Amino acid sequence: MTQPTMSHTPEDVSILPRNINFNLEQALATDWHGGDPFRTAFYNSLSIMFPLGEQQFIDSVKHYRDRITDPVLSENVRGFTAQESVHRREHQKYNEALCASRGYSLEKLEAPLRRRIALAQKHIPSIALLAATVAYEHWTAILADAVLRRPETFDGATPEMTRLWRWHAIEESEHKAVAFDVYRAVGGSEYLRRRLMLVVTVHFFLDAFRHMRLMLRNHKGSRVKLWIGGLRFLMSRQSPLHGLWRPWRDFFRRDFHPWDHDNRTVVATVLRALDLGVAAVE
């Protein structure tokens, strides 16, 4: 008898990387999001997390590769790894160009996250590292959905930057259940999954605000005004954080699965408009 698959990604969603190179140098030298330093720093601060963070996501999932017997889930793990590898590459280029043109120290920006990952790999069980990846992948999935569903989040941004963020958001949506399905397949507990979401959420905001603080410290003009306006933006409809409380909270449901938030229609619509080319097996 055929075993039921452990993968709960819908059959019509393919997880294949689009090997795209973005040209971002010019935009990154400026406040590319509508000339607004705070909005620009917000997205730039997320980008700083990706090369180190996404490598850790790949490692934590790959650790369990040999325990996955389901061929569909194995294939999805390959797709997940390939997509995250291209994301890492493009965001590494992004971060290097950003730091070179704006005078930021990439080493200083990355240092605490680099240290935390090294400590976690040494002291935390592999299943907890995977639970952290599951939680981060939920964060990226709900942020991606917000960016795709509400085009106004990129009103005023330069076209190539908009294209990069939407490309990343599409692929985060496509592979949003892979780490989750691996976690379930290898017997990860509900308790650990929820607990790690709380830890990850605190770190996510601490990292983002630290990066923004460093990026905005040489701002000419009133920094108090800048931060007040910025915090207002984060609560506005143009913010990708707007309306995320409910989808974030859903993660704590016992029967939750990332595809309960079915965004295939919006992904397909944005994909058609972006014309990114065909995803390919590497």
Q: Using CB under 5 A as the criterion, which residues of the chain lie in contact with Fe ion when the complex forms?
A: 84, 87, 140, 172
- At closest approach, how far in Å is the CB of 142 from Fe ion? 12
Sequence-distant (≥ 6) Cβ neighbours of residue 272 within 8 angstroms: none
Look up residue 70 and give its DSSP letter: -
d(CA 176, CA 7) in angstroms, rounded, equals: 11
- At closest approach, how far in Å is the CB of 175 from Fe ion? 6
d(CA 91, CA 170) in angstroms, rounded, equals: 15
- At closest approach, how far in Å is the CB of 88 from Fe ion? 8
Beta bridge partners of 157: 33
d(CA 95, CA 105) in angstroms, rounded, equals: 10
């954080």: which residue's tokens?
Answer: 241
3-state secondary structure of 156: coil
Q: How many CB atoms lie within 10 A of CB 251?
A: 20
- At closest approach, how far in Å is the CB of 134 from Fe ion? 10
Nearer to Fe ion, 31 or 250 (CB): 250
Nearer to Fe ion, 172 or 181 (CB): 172
Nearer to Fe ion, 10 or 35 (CB): 10
Nearer to Fe ion, 110 or 172 (CB): 172
Nearer to Fe ion, 36 or 172 (CB): 172
Burial of 206 (0-12, 13-18, 19+ CB in 10 A): exposed
Nearer to Fe ion, 61 or 216 (CB): 61
Ordered alpha helix ranges (H), the chain: 25-28, 37-62, 71-102, 106-123, 126-149, 159-174, 178-185, 190-216, 223-235, 245-250, 264-274
- At closest approach, how far in Å is the CB of 264 from Fe ion? 17
Residue with the closest Cβ to Fe ion? Answer: 87
Beta bridge partners of 33: 157
């850790």: which residue's tokens?
Answer: 56
- At closest approach, how far in Å is the CB of 234 from Fe ion? 22
- At closest approach, how far in Å is the CB of 137 from Fe ion? 5
Nearer to Fe ion, 140 or 153 (CB): 140
């509900």: which residue's tokens?
Answer: 190
- At closest approach, how far in Å is the CB of 197 from Fe ion? 15
Angle at 166 between CA 47 and CA 207, to 5 degrees: 25
Nearer to Fe ion, 10 or 34 (CB): 10
